[in-house]
């Protein structure tokens, strides 16, 4: 599911990078998430935080919830 519509960054992209040990800033540089309108930033940060807390499944559910607000 797309989290960042501007840059076509998916939840899976963010989770994969977070699991590789990257923080939000690194992921932002790598993928370009939250570098345009910024509407996805809170959601993307929450996904990274959830992954950092070792709750990848929770992160996937969080992304689904965030996507609804981003798409509005
Ligand atoms: S939706 Fe991510 S920068 Fe616009």
Coil, strand or helix at 21 = coil
User: 9, 24, 37: which to mutate for ligand 1, most atoms within 8 A of CB?
Assistant: 37
Ligand 1, atom 1, residue with closest C-alpha: 4
**Residue span of the structural domain in which 64 resides:** 2-70
* Closest ligand 1 atom to Cα of 6: 4
| 49-68 pLDDT, tens digit each | 999 876 545 445 555 555 54
Number of domains in the chain: 1
CATH number of 23's domain: 1.10.10
Based on its alpha-carbon atoms, the radius of gyration of the chain, rounded to whole angstroms, reads 10
Q: Is 0.85 topped by the overall pTM? A: no
57 backbone dihedrals φ, ψ, rounded to 5°: -70, -40
Coil, strand or helix at 61 = helix
| 5-53 pLDDT, tens digit each | 999 999 999 999 999 999 999 999 999 999 999 999 999 999 999 998 7
């Amino acid at each position: 599911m797309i989290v960042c519509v501007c840059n076509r960054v998916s939840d899976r992209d963010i989770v994969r990078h977070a699991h590789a040990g990257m923080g939000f800033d690194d992921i932002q540089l790598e993928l370009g998430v939250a570098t345009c309108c910024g509407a996805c930033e809170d959601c993307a940060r929450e996904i990274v935080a959830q992954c950092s807390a070792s709750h990848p499944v929770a992160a996937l559910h969080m992304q689904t919830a965030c996507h609804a607000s981003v798409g509005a």
